[in-house]
Amino acid sequence: DIQMTQSPSSVSASVGDTVTFSCRASQEITTYLAWYQQKPGKAPKLLIHSTSTLVSGVPSRFSGGGSGTHFTLTITSLQPEDLATYFCQQATTFPVTFGQGTRLDIK
Amino acid sequence: QVQLQESGPGLVKPSETLSLICSVSGVSMSHGTHYWGWIRQTPGKGLEWIASGDKGGSTYYNPSLKSRVTMSVDTSRNELSLILNSATAADTAIYYCSRQLEDWGQGTLVTVSA
């Protein structure tokens, strides 16, 4: 199985800040790396797929990048509604695996 | 817009069978080439992919659960199902159904307890 490791486990930032989350894979991801946002009590919501493709309707302040085994999710101009936990996920090979998540708190 | 809704018993006894249904609306499961699937979430293990499958019967299972899990897609009812045998407390989780891991249901909490 491909292990997905996210860092940091939590981060606190202020409205207007820029934050970057890291996701490292135990093997090279060649095709599908996605990012999800999960707000408390809700299902995960797909934000980005294929490393950097923004899902329709997702604000452009969200962006994804990386390659190989290291990937990032960046949020610029943080908004209060961005309070959530963010997960990375690979579907290059079965089984599909998720990172353990990074919790974002807004100061 | 596709909508998914999970349903099933919220409480299952240890060693019994956990059965869930996901009702799909807004899209016909008999059309297109979508993959449908199940994912569960626990505080301890996080998000765990269980299975994915299509209308043609091609199904992929997480090896860690494969011996106990069956997933099926019923295009006539526009729903997918999940059966997990020999449930234990470790199967207590929120279970989500999904279309292509893009659209998710709201999730249903299943507790395995006597």
Among residues A106, A107, A104, A100, the alpha carbon closest in space to that of A20 is found at: A104
| pLDDT tens, residue by residue, B36-69 | 999 999 988 899 999 999 988 899 999 999 999 9
CB contact under 8 A, B46 and A46: no
What's the confidence (pLDDT) of residue B43? 87
Q: Which residues of A touch B52 (CB under 8 A)?
A: 96
User: Which is it for strands A53-54 and A45-49: parallel, antiparallel or unpaired?
Assistant: antiparallel
In whole angstroms, give the CA distance from residue B41 to residue A70: 24
| pLDDT tens, residue by residue, A41-78 | 999 999 999 999 999 999 999 999 999 999 999 999 99
Whether B102 shows a pLDDT value over 80: the answer reads yes
Alpha carbon B68 to its chain centroid, in Å, reads 13
Nearest CB partner across the interface for A95, out of B46, B49, B96 = B49
Whether A31 shows a pLDDT value over 80: the answer reads no
Nearest CB partner across the interface for A96, out of B49, B96, B106 = B49
| pLDDT tens, residue by residue, B15-32 | 999 999 999 999 999 988
User: Which is it for strands B36-42 and B93-99: parallel, antiparallel or unpaired?
Assistant: antiparallel
CB contact under 8 A, B102 and A100: no
**A56 CB-contact burial (10 Å; exposed 0-12 / middle 13-18 / buried 19+):** exposed
Q: Which residues of B touch A46 (CB under 8 A)?
A: 101-103
Site from B47, B52, B60, B98 to mutate, A interface, most A CB atoms within 10 angstroms: B47
